[in-house]
Amino acid sequence: MSSMDAGSSCSLSEKWDTYASVHVNDMCKKTGASTEELSKAVSFLVKNGLAEYKTLKSASGPVITGFALTHEGLNWKEILRSERNDFLLKSVLVPIIVSVLTSAVIAICSYLWTMSGISTLNANNTPSTEPMTEETILTGVS
C-alpha cells in the first residue's frame, strides 16, 4: 500500500472495499455519481495534486485500489484563502502604500524647494545700509 494508511482512503472498486474506510458504493450514493464519474473526478483530483492513488504491489506492477485526499485536498479552503490574501497584499495593498509614500515625499520636497526659494529671494532683497539715489530719466520731453 502507499504511504497513507487504509483508515483514510476510499476504494475505487467493490473488490477493494476491504482495504479502504469508505466504500465506493457509499461514495456513489452520497454524491449521486456513478462509479465511472467518481473515477473521472478522482483522476482530476490526482492530476491537480488534491488526491493520491492508493496502490498494492503485485507481480505485474502496482494495482490502484483506492484514493486518499492529500493535505492540499483536505485543506483547500484555507490554502485558497491564503493565496487570495497574499495576492491582495502584494498586488493591491503594497502599491497603494508605495503610492501614498511617493506622493508624501514629492509634496515634502516641493514644500522644501519652495521654502528654499523664498529664503533665497528674501536674502537678495534685504535693504542696503547705503543711501539710495533717485534718478529720473526723462524721455521724449520737449
pLDDT, residue 125, reads 63
**Is residue 20 a contact partner of residue 54, using CB atoms and an 8 Å limit?**
yes
Q: Which three cell numbers stand for residue 59?
A: 507481480
DSSP single-letter state for residue 22: B
| Per-residue confidence band for 3, with pLDDT thresholds at 50, 70 and 90 | very low
**Is residue 19 a contact partner of residue 64, using CB atoms and an 8 Å limit?**
no
**Is residue 51 a contact partner of residue 70, using CB atoms and an 8 Å limit?**
yes
**Is residue 85 a contact partner of residue 111, using CB atoms and an 8 Å limit?**
no
Question: Tens digits of per-residue pLDDT, 71-128?
Answer: 998 899 999 999 999 998 899 889 999 999 999 999 998 888 887 766 666 666 666 6
Element (H, E) at 53: strand 51-56
As to burial, measured by CB atoms within 10 angstroms (0-12 exposed, 13-18 middle, 19+ buried), residue 119 is exposed
Q: How many residues does the chain have?
A: 142
pTM of the model: 0.56
Question: Tens digits of per-residue pLDDT, 32-51?
Answer: 999 889 889 999 999 999 99
- Cα–Cα distances (Å) from 103 to 41, 110, 114, 129, 136, in that order, read 52, 10, 16, 44, 51
